[in-house]
Amino acid sequence: MFRRATIVAALALSLFSLRAHAQDAAALQSYFTGKQVVVKIDMPGSQKGVDLRFNKPSPMDWKDYGNRIKQYGVAIRQGDVARITTIVLKKDMMEFQLDGGGFGTAGDDTKTSVEAKVVDKSDYEKDLENQIANTDDPDKKADLQRQLDRERARRERQNAINQQQAEYASQQKAQQVAQNRVNGGSRFNLRWSGSVPPNLNPDMVMQLLAQYVNFNATPPSPSGVVQPDNSAPPAEAQPADGENVPATAKLQKGMKMDDVTALFGPGKKLSESVGDGGLKTQVYSYDTSNRHVEVTYVEGLVVRYTISSNQ
């Protein structure tokens, strides 16, 4: 009887804990989802994001963080505004997802290579090999060998073409993956030993992330509610007929670095990393008379840029 009562009590406690956990998750989702924040560190372009382990004296493993930045590049740069897209509360961790949570989740194609289609020996080539092996006539064997050499050369040429096409497709695929990582967002993974703290609330989360995320990036509005700064930088004056178009209006994704240099002059390199497939990612800044421009390149092509006022 005592044992049965103990089991019932344990089940009731477990059910209570599950309900409390679900309530915490719902409250965190309701409070955070859709809000905008400013990140204080560069965020890796991966669903792995940044791990913060609160069972250690220092939550951040900076070596691991640096390795992820180097491997995946940067999706959200320090100082960027990011939107909280979802909060996921698990047994021993909380996912704090920004701008989609990071590229590499289920359904994302992260492969950066394309295999070349190999052309197998044709029946004709195999038949020539058999005929050569079964004839003793030198003239006939020589003629068959010439035919076999032509057939092999044809197959090897096609394999070489297929290999070139696969290499080109791999480059295109790797560039697409790199761009997807830049645009895919990132996340913080708040981890604990055993289980998340009981009654985890928004204030606790904001305190835990205060070193890495600015939740109050702009002054309060007249209503007293903190609002993210959604205003765009002042627009450049539109050129009248006959005037030159501003250089910033000519900047486009897909442009080569040389073309950007021709628009703005030599830029200042802010960072450089090598990601999947050996692709080089570089970030440069450029300044015009009234604009500050930051451009992200992958293998010398523009994949992302931001334009702000420098006044």
Domains, the chain = 2-103+184-214 (no CATH), 123-179 (no CATH), 247-309 (3.30.1450.10)
Weakest mean pLDDT among 131-145, 200-214, 257-271, 278-292: 278-292
Cut 0.85: pTM above it: no
- Residue 255 banded pLDDT, cuts 50, 70, 90: confident
- Shortest CA distance to 285 belongs to which of 43, 46, 78, 23? 78
Does the structure show a pLDDT above 90 at 132? Answer: yes
Does the structure show a pLDDT above 50 at 225? Answer: no
